[in-house]
Structure formats: structure tokens, C-alpha cells
Chains A and B, each alone.
Chain A
Amino acid sequence: MYQLTGLTRLYHKDRRPVPAVTGVDLVIGDGEWLAVQGRTGSGKSTLLNLLGALDRPTEGTVELDGTDLGVLRETQLTRLRAQSIGFIFQTFNLIPTLSAAENVEAALIPLGVSQAGRRQRVTAALDAVGLPDRAKHLPTELSGGQQQRVAIARALVKDPTVVLADEPTGNLDEDTRDDIIALLEHLWRERGLTLVLVTHDSAIARRAQRTAVMSNGRLTIRQDSANR
């Protein structure tokens, strides 16, 4: 699925380069669940942005199914995100003026799905996350856990091959966190997704098949997590 070779991303602050990701070599297989741990500022979110084609590497390559994302045009990257990559954010990033169903529907708009088709798929997605009766609620009318479920439904409604989750339980209480992770795990198994999940939480990381640790922009695989 993913092959990262010498992946580096530098930012510039006061004309000085600040390395966010440095020389990352990594292979992520189809259907694999990889957890990425690390302290704040270690480069986890930057790595996720590079995997999701939200950002471009300064050096090295990111290949998704053999395609180097760094050479694609912006419109091609946008198309890729629309069709193949689902995102789940720590702060949910739902559109506040749209209902739960409409937020999920927003993910299907770029695909040109008909209105009837969108309605059907949205219903199925909300069913899958256990929110069939919250379709018309606005995000402000939902709890944190419910909002994150809507975000998961939005990420999955387009049947992506990859789901990238950036601290999906970071804003949730312990019980809700467990529910969300359980839901993600269930969907991962059911759909054979490739799931890359960034987390602080070691307990969550241990549920993944493999765990990588980011430190000062460099990535290492935890040996005790290999081949779980």
C-alpha cells in the first residue's frame, strides 16, 4: 500500500529550516493497522499529512500503490483524497452548519454521486456507526463521541482504501474513547482497510498490529509490536 523512502519534510522559521519529518523509511501493507506514537511536536501529524497528500515532502518519496504522491498535480491529489483516503481528526472538523447526515454527504459531493445514491450511502454509514437517529442533528447538538462517530461515518462513506486518524480519541473521555476505538477496530476488520492511527495512548497503540514511534522527526518501529 504505502512505501516511504527517505521521507523528509522541512519547515522554515526565521529562514532557519525546522525538520518535522526526517529520513523516514517505512512500508505499510494493505489492510494493516499501524499506530504511530510520539510526544507532541515529534512529527506524527506531519507524517499523517504526507500520507494523506495534504502536504508535499521536501525530500524523499511517498508511494501509494506504486504512485509517487510528490509528482502528482494538486487536482490529482484532490481526486485521490476524494476517492481513496478517509480522514478522522482529533477535533472532528465537522461543518457546524450542516447536520450529521449532511456532513457525511459532503464526502460524496466530489464523487458526483446522485442525490438518491448519496442519501442511501449516508444512511448506511450512519447505521454503521450507530447513529441512525441523529441524522438531522447539528454538531452542536451531539456529544463529543457522537461527533466523532459522524466523522468516522464521513471518512468511511466513500469506501476508502486508507483511513488516517489523527488522535481520534484525544478530545474524548475514557469510556467514549474505548467505544470509538472499538468501533474503528470493528470497521477495520470488517472492511479490510489500511488504518494509520496517531495516538498518545499506549493502550490504544497496543491494539494495532504494529506500532511506530516518532521522535524528533525520526520514525522507529517498536520491536515488540512487530507481527502482532
Chain B
Amino acid sequence: MFFVTYLQRELRRRVRQAVLVALGLALGVGLVVTVAAASAGVSKAEVGVLSGLYGVGTDITVTGPSALAAMARACTPTPTVPCFDGRPYRGKGTPVPKPSKSNGQILFPPLFNQVSASAVAAVARLHDVAAAAGVLTLVGQSHQSGTYTVDGVDTGHTSVGPLSTATISSGHFFTAADSDADVALVDSSYATSNNLKVGSAITIKQVRFTVIGIVSPQPGTSPPDVYIPLARAQAVGTGDKDGAGSLANDVNLIYVAAASAADIPAVQGELSRLLPGDTVTAASSLASEVTGSLSDAAKLTGDLGRWVSALALIAAFAVACLLTLAGVSRRSAEFGALKSLGWRTRRIVAQVLGESLVMGIAGGAAGVGVGFAGAAIIADIAPKVSGTDSSAIGSMQQVIQNGSPAPVVWRAVSVPLSPSVTAGVIVLAVVLAMAGGLLAGALGAWRIARLRPASALTLVA
């Protein structure tokens, strides 16, 4: 076909220009693909971090209102008595809260108001809620064991919550029958450091719990040391670290799984209406409360990545347009001759557009390759990104040790960043490159349309 023959010959004649245009488009598009792949990796990592922090299947969490801000406002720090989230320490020179119960143990929730356990049942009854489970997270301190963490979990609903991501390495998980039993699951690291195994006994607030299983957490997560049935945690814990207050029927975190992703906004609304004083947070917005290198990576691939990609694309398009315009100018006499033969302007324009489109497609294909290479490089480096839960949900602001404040990371998760190039991104890359080619061709076409044959022919004469 004459059109194809002419097109092939022209591209071959101006192979350097064609390669330059395609290469420019490839680099611009390749950057877009790489950034999109990295962004997809960050999103995947966010899911991994969130599931590590909050458990697989958790779409929404509910917590009681935070007491931290109120306490901070109430406190006036002094040189010798700093504020511990608004609460002055008791005893001079002894900033660490001392266990005040017998056996030297205290067990209390982090500075947080509780949510009634009956609210969990109400949540579970909501339309579009697939599952709901309450958890009572406690901090224990003893003379023997030091500081340890305990999660009181609903043994009848483990598909959501902190145990949903753990695997049993020996023994077995809780069953529904364990709801009021003095049994415990122990984290594998804690078991190792305290020489615990299945069948061992641990004492929490004078209650002897039998270890029925050793659990291995999802890699990179920071799980509690011990899991006990919720009812038992409510019984042995106290409302504060002074040993006052009861935790009967209290949880401090409700994990909620929606029936489907589409139901999450509706469920979130229903929860806010059902529990007006409590904090209802969807997992997607929890992502914004996670700090650490994950949020840095998200910012990098987000705003910065988008800007850099946009600039690279604009530069690539500009190069393509300039080179095409230059090529059309150089071929003015040729186009003038074609017009003298009776070629209509649109036929000549179609020829130029065809050449530009081929360069665009070549650029798009190469750009996808460049994008894959960029994603492969990131995957090879396999940077780990970590997320620290700095939300009110599980964060303990400071534990003062020996007079020096030391922040304690309540929960932190580290997952590898593995970028992925999706089919949608590939299609986008090719479309962008073709758009660049067509834009360049359109500019060339405009130039041709303005060409007067007589003027074009005199350019050579």
C-alpha cells in the first residue's frame, strides 16, 4: 500500500529523528510507569502495614475518645516533674509509675477511654457488617517481668483483630469455649525470652494462665506479648495504672469488617451515629495516620512522583513536537511537489500523522520497557518501608524511664516495597505516548495546512 510504503521509507530516512522522538517519549512514559509501579507498591505496602497493625480483614476501627489532649492541657510541667501526657508523676525522683498492687503487678490500658463491650454486639448487628470484635489492650508492669503488653481478645471472633494475621507455631488458637478460661497465647519472641512453651504458666495479676499456644506474628509487626480471653482481661485489668477502676464490659478497640469494600462508607456512617462519642476510623484513613518511611514513600510517589512524571512527559512531548515541526519544514518542497500533483492537504497530513503515530507507539512500547526496568530496579533494591501507628488507637505517648522521656512505639510494621506494573498502567503508557506522537503530528499538520504550494516550491528554487 502506497501510504505504508511512503511511511516506512520516510521513517527509515529520518531514523535518527524518529529514534530521538521515540526515545524522548519512552523516557517520559517510562518515568510515569515507574512512578505508577512504585505507587502501586506503596499501596500494597500500606495494605500490608495496615493489616499488620490492625489485622487482615479490618475495614474500620472504633475507639473511645482520647484522654491525652485533655490531660496535656491540665498539666504544667516543672523542671523536676515533667508531664506524662498531662499527668504529673507521683513521687519525686521516681518518675516510673510503681506497681501498687500485691505481687508488684499493675495492668492497665494505655491512656485511653474505654468503649463498652455491649457496643460490640450492637456494631455486629449493623447491616453490612460482616464481623466485629472487641479488644482490650493492656500494659502490664511487674517487678519480675518488667513491662509487657496484653491483648484481651474475643475468642469467638478471631477473623478480625490482632490474631487474624498470626500463625500458630505450637499448640493451638483459642476456641469459643475458652472465652472465660485462664488460658493464654504467647508471642514467639516473648516465649523465647521468658522460656515459655505450651503448658507453661504465666501469672498476670495473681491469676495463673496456662499457655496453650505459641503464635508467630506476621513478619515486621509488633504484636502484644500475651493474648488472653477478653473476659479475663477485663477481670484482671484495672482502669488506670494506680490500680483504680474496673474494666468490666470494657474494650478499648473494636475491629469491624464490612460486608464488602463498597459498604465501608455506609458502615462508617452507621457507626458514627451508633457511637457518637467514639472515634470511627476507616482503614483507608488510618493510612494517613501511619508515620514512618511508608508515609515518606507515599509522599515521594504521590506528589513528587506525579510532578516529576508530568514534567518529564511535557519535556518529551515538547521534543517530539519540535522535531516534527523541524522535519515538516525541511520537507516543505516535497509537500509542495505533492500538492502540485493534486494531493489534498488532508492526505499529506495523514501521512505525517501516520509517521508521528508510529513513533509514538514505538516510544510507548519502549517506555513500558523502561518502566518495567525501573520497577525491577526498585524491586531488586527491595527497600523495606515501615509504618508506625501514631494514631490514638494503639499509641502510648511516653514512658518516662529514669527521668528521661523515651517514646515507645506501640505498634510498628515493616514490609518490603515491591512495585508492580499493572495492565492499566501499560495501557496508559502506550496511550500517553501515542498522544504525544499525535500532538506532534497535529502541529506538523497545522504547518502543512498553512503551506502555500507556490511558496513551498520556491524554497528549493
Contact = CB atoms under 8 A, between A and B. Distances in A.
B369 interface: no
Given A55-B454, A93-B457, A110-B347, A87 B5 contact: no
Contacts of A83: 342
Given A55-B452, A93-B460, A97-B13, A110 B342 contact: yes
Given A89-B337, A90-B461, 15 more contacts: A49-B454, A54-B340, A54-B453, A82-B341, A93-B336, A93-B337, A95-B334, A95-B338, A96-B334, A98-B6, A106-B338, A107-B342, A110-B342, A110-B343, A166-B461
A91 B343 contact: no
B456 to A, nearest CB: 9
Interface in B285-335: 333-334
A156 to B, nearest CB: 12
B344 interface: yes
A137 interface: no
A74 B337 CA distance: 16
Contacts of A45: 458, 461
A49 B344 CA distance: 17
Interface string A111-155: 100000000000000000000000000000000000000000010
A52 interface: yes
A46 B340 CA distance: 14
Interface of A: 45-46, 49, 52, 54-55, 74-75, 78-83, 87, 89-91, 93-98, 102, 105-107, 109-111, 154, 166
Contacts of B336: 93
Contact of A81 (B333, B342, B345, B347): B342
Interface of B: 2, 5-6, 9-10, 12-13, 333-334, 336-345, 347, 452-454, 457-458, 460-461
B342 A93 contact: no
Nearest to B5: A102
Interface pairs A-B: 9 shortest CB-CB = A82-B342, A97-B9, A93-B337, A55-B454, A110-B342, A81-B342, A49-B454, A54-B453, A54-B454
A40 B343 CA distance: 29
A105 B1 CA distance: 11
Contacts of A54: 339-340, 452-454, 457
28 contacts: A45-B458, A46-B454, A49-B457, A54-B454, A55-B453, A74-B345, A78-B342, A81-B339, A81-B340, A81-B342, A87-B340, A89-B457, A89-B460, A89-B461, A91-B461, A93-B457, A93-B460, A95-B334, A95-B338, A98-B5, A98-B6, A105-B2, A106-B338, A109-B341, A109-B347, A110-B341, A110-B344, A154-B341
Contacts of B13: 96-97
Nearest to A9: B454
A27 B452 CA distance: 26
Contacts of B347: 109-110
Nearest to B456: A54
A52 B454 CA distance: 10
A175 B230 CA distance: 110
A122 to B, nearest CB: 11
A87 B453 CA distance: 12
Contacts of A154: 341
Chain A CB within 10 Å — which of B336, B343, B345 has the most?
A: B343
Nearest to A87: B340
Contact of B334 (A87, A93, A102, A110): A93
B341 A97 contact: no
A81 B6 contact: no
A79 B258 CA distance: 69
Contacts of A107: 341-342
B344 A75 contact: yes
Contacts of A89: 337, 457, 460-461
Contacts of B454: 46, 49, 54-55
B342 A79 contact: yes
A24 to B, nearest CB: 16
Contacts of A74: 345
Given A91-B460, A105-B2, A97 B343 contact: no
A74 to B, nearest CB: 8
Nearest to B13: A97
B104 to A, nearest CB: 93
A145 to B, nearest CB: 19
Contacts of B2: 102, 105-106, 109
Nearest to A46: B454
B379 to A, nearest CB: 44
